[in-house]
Amino acid sequence: MAFLFFALPLQAMSHLLLQPHIFFCVVLCNIKKKLRCLTHRAATLTAGEIRSALAHTDLDKMWQRDLTPLLVTRYPGTAGSLAVQQHIKTTLGSLEAGWSVTEDSFEAQTPYGPRTFTNLIATLDPSAKRRLVLACHYDSKYYPPQWHGKEFQGATDSAAPCAMMLELARALDQELKTHKSSSPDLTLQLLFFDGEEAMFQWTATDSLYGSRHLAQQMESTPHPAGADDTNLLHGIDLFVLMDLIGAPTPRFGSQFSSTSRWLTRLQNIERRLHSMGLLIDHPADVQYFWPNMPVGFVQDDHVPFLNRGVRILHLIPTPFPSVWHTFDDNEENLDRSSIQNLNKIIQLFALEYLNARPIDPQNPQNAP
């Protein structure tokens, strides 16, 4: 993999070097694009703005509205999968911010024959040039019939992360609506992948069905509309993948140096919310985000995007939850405190990344 990574750009550059003016333009263009993303500055909300922004997140509502409907058998092509898709579409469709939700449906060969997979893509403002992407996989792992009688819920894998994304959209509905109305350059996009899990055994072709397809689709879709040298992948400022979240005290380390500053930012948010007393069962100021903790490479839905040059922040705990890929990965073993705390941290991260300031009731003249 490392060889391919470095060999391809060098080969491409050797052709371009023969035509210096093209080489210069392409390099300049790429540098500009990279700089815009690398130098992106997030806002830092005041304590009043933070309290106002996080006033609407509600774990009980999330549990009831978003998590429970996801805790069903939902491997590709099942009735549960269709119900979950419908739930995600209905939830986002009911919000005032006005999400544009599209489907990426396709058929792929699996060890059990051809199957239909469906990714869901929700974009706050499809006309915006740049996107902060939050992603999860909504499919559950398939267990063959000898396990009949037992149901694999995949609560951390990844019902909880998907429910957290829906809760973010619901809790920040007004803030996102206001942000969208200012026609910003940068918007929010939510990706719900199908077919992350291997149907039989993890291989390059039996895994990541949805993300492999969507990365390819996005790469071949010009963006902004009509562009001839940029596509939807170029529009991704940062791709945040959430997986295996919901067990007690997760620890997130740094996999990619290109995005470690955003992990540092999450740690900073964790510290700020801790000092404001907004986190529960959170004894030390840092429990979750460890930008100086190097962690190994993990195969997951980010890989097809990473291989195409997208910047990735992979929020997957090290170690994995002890219940991973067992029938104990169920609702009973979810840790409410860490889910609630992470909801707040990730919601604030999204708002600050987008530079979306809520109305501070103490200081209404600061309204956007």
Q: Which is nearer to Zn ion, 157 or 270 (CB)?
A: 157
Q: Are strands 312-315 and 236-242 parallel, antiparallel or unpaired?
A: parallel
The residue with tokens 């963006």 is 223
Asked whether 110 and 167 are in contact (CB, 8 A), the reply is: no
Whether the bond between 319 and the residue before it is cis, its omega within 30 degrees of 0, is yes
Minimum Å gap between C-beta 317 and Zn ion is 13
As a whole number of Å, the end-to-end CA separation of the chain is: 46
Cα 361-365-368 angle, rounded to 5 deg: 90
Residue of 167, 194, 197, 243 with catalytic role: 243
Q: Which of residues 239-278 bind Zn ion (CB under 5 A)?
A: none
Q: Which is nearer to Zn ion, 66 or 157 (CB)?
A: 157
Separation between Cα atoms, residue 179 and residue 199, nearest integer Å: 40
Minimum Å gap between C-beta 157 and Zn ion is 4
Q: Which is nearer to Zn ion, 153 or 338 (CB)?
A: 153
Backbone angles phi, psi at 367, to 5 degrees: -60, 145
Cβ atoms within 10 Å, residue 27: 12
Position closest to Zn ion via CB: 157
Backbone angles phi, psi at 240, to 5 degrees: -105, 110
Minimum Å gap between C-beta 141 and Zn ion is 5
Encoded one letter per residue, x for contact with Zn ion by CB under 5 A and - for no contact, window 83-122 reads: ----------------------------------------
Q: Which of residues 134-163 bind Zn ion (CB under 5 A)?
A: 157
Residue of 175, 194, 196, 206 with catalytic role: 196
Asked whether 110 and 214 are in contact (CB, 8 A), the reply is: no
Q: Which of residues 294-323 bind Zn ion (CB under 5 A)?
A: none
Cβ-based burial of 264 (10 A; exposed 0-12, middle 13-18, buried ≥19): middle
* Residue 243 a catalytic site member: yes
Minimum Å gap between C-beta 244 and Zn ion is 7
Minimum Å gap between C-beta 190 and Zn ion is 20
Q: Which is nearer to Zn ion, 295 or 298 (CB)?
A: 298
Q: Which is nearer to Zn ion, 243 or 360 (CB)?
A: 243
* Residue 281 a catalytic site member: no
List of residues contacting Zn ion (CB under 5 A): 157
Hey, which residues are catalytic here? 196, 243
